[in-house]
Structure 1
Amino acid sequence: MRPSRRGFTLIELLVGGAVGSVVLLGISLTFISQARQYQTHASRRAIQSNARQAMSFMSRHIRSAGYGVDPDRTVLAYDSFNAAEGTSQTGYPDAVVVHSRDLLFRRDVTSATSNRLVVNAPIPLLQRGQILLVLCRNNGSITTTQHHAFVTVGQHLENSMEINLDTTDPAAAPNSPTGMPGRLFHEQALLDGNNCYDTAQVVKVSRSAFYVAAFDEPGNATTRTPYLMMHQGLDLDRDGTIGPNDAVPVAEGIEQLQVAYILNSMGTAMPRVLGVNEPTTAEHYGEQWQTMIPPQMVGPTRRIPQWYTLPLNDLEKPAREEDSPVNIRQLRITLVSRSSTQDPQHVGDDLMLANAGEAIGATVPWRQLENLSVTGVTPDTSDFTPQGRGFYRVILREAITPKNIQLNSQFIATTEAGG
């Protein structure tokens, strides 16, 4: 008797197929969910890494700020700086510029005029826009009011003993993080009529300007990518001009940079937090941040800036509580880093939430984004608005102490000739 051969019925096939589809669908959904979670975590790790990289880089420069540089030239902050236009505009990130003396470079000066320095040994390289500090070795004539001068190199040079200086009038020098050094570094007129500069020493001053700018990405016509940029005030591309094209990127995805000053206080008073958007904006913007203590007269004609003479604990000197660069205790930096791409499944993190009872735009000790306000901003500012648009974001804040800012006097370098 032939055995019967029974197969699957149509109903069994349909049931088996349905069960298999459900299993495959579950596996697929699990895979998709895990992949999305992986991408989310990867994006958050990346933005945290970018923020830490940017903060670490800025911190190294800020901590060294003030070494061998007058306090009023140590830190210059710019509120709401639109890098594309070079102007202040609501909703844009802040910018900050710090200066410090180069530890390894010095030359002896054999001749000095307002347009040229001659030194005792060839200099391998100097870029146009390099800041130099010329230091007298003696007190000079009795009528001299200052015995050191900050000047700017006006021409690229290699293996030369002659340094051509930029002769721009200080009043016409730019006040911008993306331009050449400004009026505080155009004191070339002091070199004329004072023979002490003919036997002086010249050292370099390093400039680091940090700001945020957005750039178009290939294949993405709708969203630009923001970068933290650094500008040294030098004509790096040697095109004859010093501008935004001479900047270099530091970190990708840095959407916001906010700056605040934490000032010295007297006695047991709490340190004050001073936003760079205070009402007297003309006195707090960039190189105008100079509500300095009036200089002290020494004799009938000579002056010494009082930041050299006032002790920090002198309770009889109210100038120690003024809004002055010499009173900066810390520089508080706040960075916002965002993901490189938008997640269509994510609304986007919102970092513009105000504290209870505080309006956005106030500068208070606990407000995470300092004085940033997006009220009334133009559409272009959306590149820097830390709200929505499908981006993951992280905020990082650090209060950095520039310990060298309390300079008591200028000094001649003791290192051997070099650089």
Structure 2
Amino acid sequence: MTHSPATTKAAQRGFTLIELMVAMILGLLVVAAAGSLFLSSRKVYGTTASVNRIQENQRIAFEMLARDVREAGGNPCTRNIVNMLDTSKPGGNYYLGWADGLSGADGTGPNGSDELTLYLANGASISVTSNGEPSANIGVNSTTGLVVNDILMVCNAEVAAIFQATSLPSGTSIQHNSGNGNPGNLMKPFQIDQASFDASVGGTNAPGYCFLPETPKNPNCLNEPSNSPAQVVKPFGVRWYLANNGRGGTSLYRQVVTNGGATSGTPAEIAEGVTDMQVTYKVGAAPSYVAAASGLAWKQVTAVHAQLEFEAVRGALTKNDTEGTDNQVLTRSLDDYILLRNHQDIQ
């Protein structure tokens, strides 16, 4: 008869209650440490994502705003701009100071933010083929993209004139008759500068500036051939401002305005979470920057100081992600000085 060895009590013994409690406590400590590390990493990730989002908004806002500011007052030809529109009407008055390049307003937006409007003519151009007499007709190689009543600019190296197209006959001509229209053209031909234009008595056959004088020169042309090409472009304004974005915050917007303010494009949201924009201006060689004010010599502004305040926005993030260690919303400032290229004197 065989006998199985007897199993000892020591071999059958399990964990004691104390050992089990110690193991559970150690496990809880490991879980707590891992959880704390996870939450800390999640907080760092969320904060980093919020800051990165602010920085991206700052970069976009600065790049686009700076580009428009640098080009303010620019056109393919010259800074000598003559406005031949009827300035007694809103559309014509809009372009009266177009050569200034920019204008601003203080405290008109949310949180007392400023507004900035820039005037540009740096789009696609159309070549002028004939303008040998001071008539209401400019020969061009195409009128594609233009419509009757568009406000346009014709220019060469000497003069840039703003006018309204009253007709586009044959697709190769732009007429700018006086009289009717809104704002319409004054009954005066092009002139060499604004003062001469304002003093002109006008009339169909009155002397005036010819962008492409012919040979022999028409006796009503006040100028000799400039030997520079002439072009037609469409001037426009760009308005930068803050407004409510419909998501519980404010954003920076850019809006294109054409035809003397009669046509306003859909505002484009450039950067979200912008809570303030303050703009000041350097006039001439003055050492300090000043706020926008009535009578400010806009044509002499050489630089713009833009200060924008940004705050973190939630979007797909949590409230905790957008807050700093003080439980306040994360904020950053953008502080930049931008030179106006078209207002700098050539040395």
**TM-score, shorter chain, exceeding 0.5:** yes
Q: CA deviation at 1:390?
A: 4.6
Are residue 100 (structure 1) and residue 120 (structure 2) matched?
yes
Contact 1:345 1:390 in 2 (8 A): no
Q: 1:96-155 CA distances to partner (integer Å, 9 max, x unpaired)?
A: 122233375144365988xx86543322213789652245999xxxxxxxx754235689
Rate the CA distance shift 1:196–1:96 in 2: closer, same or farther, 3 A.
same
Residue in structure 2 matching 1:81, options 96, 108, 115: 108
Q: Which residue of the partner structure matches residue 143 of structure 2?
A: 123
Q: CA deviation at 1:35?
A: 0.9
Taking the TM superposition and a 5 Å limit, the aligned residue runs for 1:17-32 are 17-32=24-39
2: CA distance between counterparts of 1:230 and 1:158? 36
Q: Which residue of the partner structure matches residue 227 of structure 1?
A: 251
Q: CA deviation at 1:261?
A: 0.4
Contact 2:73 2:119 in 1 (8 A): yes
Tell me which amino acid in the other structure corresponds to 1:79: D
Taking the TM superposition and a 5 Å limit, the aligned residue runs for 1:3-402 are 3-4=8-9, 5-67=12-74, 68-69=78-79, 70=81, 72-82=99-109, 91-102=111-122, 105-108=125-128, 119-126=139-146, 131-135=151-155, 149-151=161-163, 161-162=173-174, 167-169=181-183, 190-191=188-189, 193=203, 194=206, 196=208, 201=230, 203-204=232-233, 205-217=235-247, 223-224=248-249, 226-234=250-258, 242-243=263-264, 246-265=266-285, 271-276=287-292, 278=293, 283=294, 291=295, 323-341=296-314, 344-345=319-320, 390-402=328-340
Rate the CA distance shift 1:347–1:63 in 2: closer, same or farther, 3 A.
closer
Rate the CA distance shift 1:229–1:164 in 2: closer, same or farther, 3 A.
farther
2: CA distance between counterparts of 1:389 and 1:95? 31
Tell me which amino acid in the other structure corresponds to 1:337: F
SS of 1:125's partner is coil
Q: Which residue of the partner structure matches residue 93 of structure 2?
A: none
Q: 1:288-308 CA distances to partner (integer Å, 9 max, x unpaired)?
A: xxx3xxxxxxxxxxxxxxxxx
2: CA distance between counterparts of 1:24 and 1:155? 80
Q: Which residue of the partner structure matches residue 88 of structure 2?
A: none
Tell me which amino acid in the other structure corresponds to 2:26: V
Tell me which amino acid in the other structure corresponds to 2:302: R
Rate the CA distance shift 1:154–1:12 in 2: closer, same or farther, 3 A.
farther
1: CA distance between counterparts of 2:208 and 2:188? 11
Stretches of structure 2 lacking an aligned partner (at least 5 in a row): 1-5, 82-97, 190-201, 213-229
Contact 1:117 1:164 in 2 (8 A): yes
Larger Rg computed on CA atoms: 2
SS of 1:329's partner is strand
Q: CA deviation at 1:36?
A: 0.6
2: CA distance between counterparts of 1:20 and 1:158? 88
Q: CA deviation at 1:331?
A: 0.9
TM-score by length of 2: 0.65
2: CA distance between counterparts of 1:51 and 1:157? 47
2: CA distance between counterparts of 1:158 and 1:35? 67
SS of 1:2's partner is coil
Q: CA RMSD in A?
A: 4.1
Rate the CA distance shift 1:153–1:335 in 2: closer, same or farther, 3 A.
farther
2: CA distance between counterparts of 1:154 and 1:14? 93
Contact 1:125 1:159 in 2 (8 A): no
Contact 1:264 1:272 in 2 (8 A): no
TM-score by length of 1: 0.55
1: CA distance between counterparts of 2:170 and 2:45? 52
2: CA distance between counterparts of 1:157 and 1:15? 96
2: CA distance between counterparts of 1:50 and 1:343? 19
SS of 2:329's partner is coil
Range with bigger deviation, 92-101 or 128-137: 128-137
The alignment-based identity, stated in percent, is 19
Give the number of equivalent residue pairs: 279
Rate the CA distance shift 1:230–1:31 in 2: closer, same or farther, 3 A.
same
Rate the CA distance shift 1:249–1:107 in 2: closer, same or farther, 3 A.
same
Contact 1:326 1:406 in 2 (8 A): no
